Amino acid sequence: MPPAAPSPILRRRRLGVELRRLREAAGLTGDQVIERIGWASASKLSRLENGRSRPDPQDVGDLLNLYGADQAVRDELLGITSEAGDMRGWLKNFPVMTQQQRSWAELEAGCAEISEYNPTLVPGLLQTPGYAQVRIVSARQVGAGAGEPEPDDEPETEVQARLARQSLLTREPYAPRYTAVLEEAALGRRAGPPEVLHEQLLQLCELALLPNVTLHVLLRDTQIGNWYLPPTAFSVYRFADPLDPETLAIEGGFTDVMSTEAITLNRYKVVFEWLCTAALNASDTLSWLIEATGRLTEAVPPSTVAFGPATAPTQRRRDSGRLTDR
């Protein structure tokens, strides 16, 4: 099975980076390009270079002619242009995706490595259906209180979309390397009913045993660097194709920001290293998760405990990258 293909959105970003590089190498400004090609819209080139529009092969060909690109570069970039326009074919892989979930799936497709930090929530790729349902419903209540219209899709659709994204963590043989730093507060009792948190902790115990997954719990009173306080959730994506630009996603309360700028990316990489250093290592994190599961077991009715006692995750072993019961 080949690696998952990058999404059309990622292809557009890659194409934009290459077109900008060729323009700068040719010593041309954006205004000069627009004038020489004769485009009516001054923003057309900007949208192409920023990956914000579906590229037309003729437009890309005109730019390559102007920049004097050789045949190898032309073949490569026109191939990327074709992939960038095939949105319909790519979306067939995600029939239940909502628009918000699709935007994250587009980043995750073709990833070789994902690094995530969230100060208040368990990241979406790790969430159980119950935890995801609580998060989605509570967020919609905020929207309703602000007078926003009710979303067309049902919460269950959003949950299924999140679960569809999670399959990449067990994709064989090209699952990405995934590392997450989880704040202790994200796993506390403010996050949901005891039975929901119990199920979530059990799942984290199992995911922590996957060979491509590394989890770190950051305890409440742990000092980060020189008293650094991370201001927001963020994720860093590195792709299988080394020429695809690394991407940073900064997750705000109600809006998300994407960036491929090296300076911004490097700052967040440094922060992520600080977080991993300050947090519990992978082994101690698993022990912490098992103990936390045990503490919650007493608060959960017996009928809702799906996997037996809290020590059940330690009775599982790896077998060719999978988890199997002894």
Supply the pLDDT for residue 313. Answer: 35
Supply the pLDDT for residue 311. Answer: 33
Residue 107 near residue 247, CB atoms below 8 Å: yes
Confidence bin at 184 (pLDDT 50/70/90): very high
Residue 111 near residue 177, CB atoms below 8 Å: no
Mean of pLDDT values over 267-278: 96
pLDDT at 307 over 70: no
Parallel, antiparallel, or unpaired: how do β-strands 316-319 and 322-325 relate? antiparallel
For residues 262 and 273, what is the distance between their CA atoms, to the nearest angstrom? 16
Residue 175 near residue 211, CB atoms below 8 Å: no
Supply the pLDDT for residue 314. Answer: 35
Other CB atoms within 10 A of residue 21 CB: 12
Parallel, antiparallel, or unpaired: how do β-strands 213-218 and 233-239 relate? unpaired
Mean of pLDDT values over 118-124: 91
The angle, 0 to 180 degrees and rounded to 10, between the axes of the packed helices 155-166 and 99-108 is 0
pLDDT tens per residue across span 127-144: 999 998 988 887 776 655
Supply the pLDDT for residue 1. Answer: 38
Mean pLDDT score of the chain? 81
pLDDT at 308 over 50: no
Q: What percent of the chain has pLDDT over 70?
A: 79
More confident call, 303 vs 118 = 118
Supply the pLDDT for residue 50. Answer: 85
| Ranges assigned E (strand) in 223-294 | 233-239, 247-251, 256-259
pLDDT tens per residue across span 198-221: 999 999 999 999 999 999 999 999
pLDDT at 239 over 50: yes
For residues 117 and 270, what is the distance between their CA atoms, to the nearest angstrom? 13
Supply the pLDDT for residue 108. Answer: 82
Instruction: Tell me the three state secondary structure of residue 317.
Output: strand
pLDDT at 96 over 50: yes
Mean of pLDDT values over 177-186: 94
Residue 272 near residue 236, CB atoms below 8 Å: yes
More confident call, 184 vs 255 = 184
